[in-house]
A and B are shown apart, each in its own frame.
Chain A
Amino acid sequence: MKIIIILTLLLFSLQYSHADAYCSLRDPVAQIQQLYPQKTNQRSIVKTVDSSTRNLVKLALPSNDLHFSELGRHTLYVAMKNTQALGYVHVRSEQSKWGLVEIIWALDKDLKIKDFTFQRCRSPKKKILDNEDFRNVFIGKSYEELKTLLSSDGKTANKILLDRAKGAPELASVVLRCALKTLLITDLLWGEELKKFNP
């Protein structure tokens, strides 16, 4: 009887699930250290990406959708130097013809791109990230600024970005879509809570 009561109480906190068991969750510790070398720790804030978030993404970025693995409980990391917040880290996936591309985004406290790196990218063109011209298009940009880099189909990058992508147009569009969704979802779900780190 006791166990039924406890299980019932726990069931009340059920949220959108994740297809993999939770023991497989790994924090991107090495990558956060790479993006914020001066950090002493990170602070996790877990929120639920649900169907209403998905609909808001579809509304803001027509022709785009979230992969099913993007639904469920997701973590935003606040990079900390002792008690001071240095910025945020958010990992998001984007479908590509090479499977899911996972990108780790470092955001500043005004929710602009500070830096980024691949967590997983199995494209033969992944060295695109070594191209400073390409990276610099993203760094320091907000959601609104990056949205101007989308072409009229709402999915592919426009000429400004493609000129800097040098032979990797598909991957450039994947990175752009991932950046836009990351900034949008971060603001939608975590924006209010993050204000306390940027008074």
Chain B
Amino acid sequence: MRKSKAFKKKIMRIVSAIFIFFSVPSYADFSDNLRVSLDGSARLNNNIAENNTSRIYALGLDTHKVFSSANGDIGYAVGQLYLTKLSNQTPYSSLFNSPDDKQFVIREAHLNYTAGPQWLPNIRVGHFTLPFGLEASIDTNGRLLDYYHGKKLGTKLDWGVGFNKVLSQVQYEFSYTMGGKNEPKTINSSYVFSGRIGSLSHLDFIIGLSFLDAKIDNIQRKRFAIDWQYYWQTWGLLGEIAFGKDDKFQKEWQEEKYSLLELNKTSINEQLKFYGQYIFTDREGESKNQQLINLGVRYQIDAEFELSLSSRKQLNTPESGKKQNLIRLQLRYRY
């Protein structure tokens, strides 16, 4: 409870600081080059394997502000603060204290300084998505479609500093973050060093190489990955192969292999998107690998409303005997 209050105070300070920063008259009008959206969603999860139905509600503000001077842009800030309420959610994220808890959650909150000379990388500071794999170039925040960043790496977002740049043929991002996940601090010597270098993200064929060296939740992780995206007309074929090792018990490294393959199809007006994912995970020390299938559809009703449905099924029977079987439905509204 005390931890929760302290965290809320911290959030208040951050929000107040951002608000005051934006309000400084030298940056002209408050609304100059500012994007602000109200973003709300209601998600229904039917976990058939566990015979449990839960709901997750989120309401927040998504903001983006570009700072400029007479010479051009200096950089930009992204701030996403959400009040998130769980209802009978099990298992629940470490951000929450119970299956019915509610918390203020910071998703992305960072500044990216872009005004350096051509040879100098942009500098990002704050809470951002780890530059690793497919998720680094495809944003899935607030969506059912996911590339399993958090599950593979220990967290999806973290507080720290990063260096990034788009060059004429390649783009890269490297970051050093504290491993505190939603809190800007190190916990038990936690850290995350990660990076990705890839071809330009607007092309029809994109390929990237990533690495990660981290200690989060007292688990040491090392990963290398290759990811790719290929688009042909309204079809997309995406994939990621990662291999590495985890050390949960100090000097007992266990190898892990992970791969994701996705085929998606978008309607020509981009309102409808279907996707199917096959996810394979093999961990040393576990007698069976894990094979999952994700099928989903996303319907963008108009600029504000989006309806999504996804179904996740496990193909092989795990040691526990219970195959994953989850159906999720989400309505999202952005204004």
CB–CB B71/A40 < 8 A: yes
Whether A82 sits at the interface, judged by CB under 8 Å, is yes
CB proximity of B331 to chain A, nearest CB, Å: 13
Q: Which residues of B contact A10 (CB under 8 A)?
A: 19, 36, 61, 63
Q: Which of B146-154, B227-235, B310-318 contacts A (4 or more CB under 8 A)?
A: B227-235
| Binary interface encoding of chain A residues 97-108 relative to chain B, with 1 for a CB under 8 A from any of its CBs, else 0 | 111101000000
Most chain B CB within 10 A, of A28, A30, A124, is at A30
- Contact at B334–A18, with CB atoms within 8 Å? yes
Report whether A83 and B70 are in contact in the complex, using a CB–CB cutoff of 8 Å.
Answer: yes
Number of interface residues of B (CB under 8 A): 63
Contact of A17 among B114, B118, B231, B303 (CB under 8 A): B303
Rounded to whole angstroms, the CA-CA distance of A67 and B269 in the bound complex is 8
Q: A15-B31, A30-B200, A31-B202 are in contact. List 12 more A-B contacts (CB 8 A).
A: A6-B19, A13-B30, A14-B36, A21-B62, A21-B80, A22-B78, A23-B64, A40-B118, A72-B303, A99-B268, A99-B270, A120-B202
Q: Which of B73, B204, B270 contacts A69 (CB 8 A)?
A: B270
Q: Which of B274-305 contact A (CB under 8 A)?
A: 300, 302-304
**A46 lies within 8 A of B33 (CB):** yes
Please determine whether A44 and B202 come into contact, CB atoms closer than 8 angstroms. Answer: no
Contact of B33 among A7, A23, A31, A44 (CB under 8 A): A44
Query: Residues on B close to A: CB < 8 A?
Result: 11-12, 15-16, 19, 30-39, 61-64, 66, 68, 70-73, 78, 80, 104, 107-108, 114-115, 118, 128-129, 138-139, 141-142, 166-168, 171, 200-202, 204, 231-234, 266, 268-271, 300, 302-304, 306, 334-335
In the complex formed, the residue of B with least CB distance to A99 is B234
B38/A46 in contact, CB under 8 A: no
Binding site for B on A (CB under 8 A): 2-3, 6-7, 9-11, 13-31, 33-34, 40-46, 67-69, 71-73, 75, 78, 80, 82-83, 95-100, 102, 119-120, 122-124
Q: Is the CB of B168 within 8 A of A34?
A: yes
Residues of B near A19 (CB, < 8 A) are: 300, 303-304, 306, 334
Which residues in B have their C-beta under 8 angstroms from that of A20? 139
Most chain A beta-carbon contacts within 10 A, residue among B62, B72, B268, B300: B72
Shortest distance from the beta carbon of A35 to any chain B beta carbon, whole Å: 12
Roughly how many angstroms separate A14 CA and B34 CA in the complex, as a whole number? Answer: 9
How far is A30 from B234 in the complex, measured between Cα atoms in Å? 24
Q: Assess whether B39 is in contact with A2, with CB atoms less than 8 Å apart.
A: no
Residues of A within 8 A of B167 (CB): 30
Query: B32 contacts which chain A residues (CB < 8 A)?
Result: 46
